[in-house]
Amino acid sequence: MKYKLLFIVLLIPNILFADLFSYPSDISFPESLFFIHRETGFRIMLGLPPEFVLTHFGKPSEKRMTHQFRSPDYQRWEIVYEDFIIDYRTYDFVITYINIITDSFYTSKGIKIGSTVNEVINAYGNPRVTVSRDGYEIMLYDRFIPEINSDSEYTTIQFTIKNNVVVRVIMAIGSWV
């Protein structure tokens, strides 16, 4: 059995959604697809239903539709909090984009706002590509994980760098450069 969901765990308070699944051994899902909240340990993950974030962090400062596609059932919504922004799509209600804007979160490899370029490279290796844009460097890492991405898109993590320091971290299904 490739995946299993342990329903009994939902009855225990403060269980992390990421801990409910067992994943195929050929992918390192926890290595790149979640952020950890510094104070609570809560994990925000790609593929997580937005309700888990809303339940944990409460009312956001803003919620807005960012895209309306051909069908009214296919929209993208953005939920804005002080420390982060998530984006989800309405046809499958999963988080497809996480934008971390303060040092309240860190990656599973310890990278956060304020980390240095050398710390990013030590943790993730050399990026697949680096893009210069508006005085910033964007270090892009990606890989294809069909078990996670229903649309067969790449999963990316992007570190925006200014003066050799991380100023923004984005994880997304698909590329957001």
One-letter-per-residue 3-state SS of 17-79: HHHHECCCCCCCHHHHCEEEECCCCCEEECCCCHHHHHHHHCCCCEEEEEEECCCCCCEEEEE
Q: Is the pLDDT of residue 38 over 60?
A: yes
Q: What is the value of pTM for the model shown?
A: 0.73
Q: How confident is the model at residue 39 (pLDDT cuts 50, 70, 90)?
A: confident
- The range of the structural domain enclosing residue 57 comes to 27-173
Nearest to 145 by CA among 26, 18, 13, 9: 26
Instruction: With respect to residue 13, please indicate whether it lies within any of the assigned structural domains.
Output: no
Q: How confident is the model at residue 141 (pLDDT cuts 50, 70, 90)?
A: confident
Our count of domains for the chain comes to 1
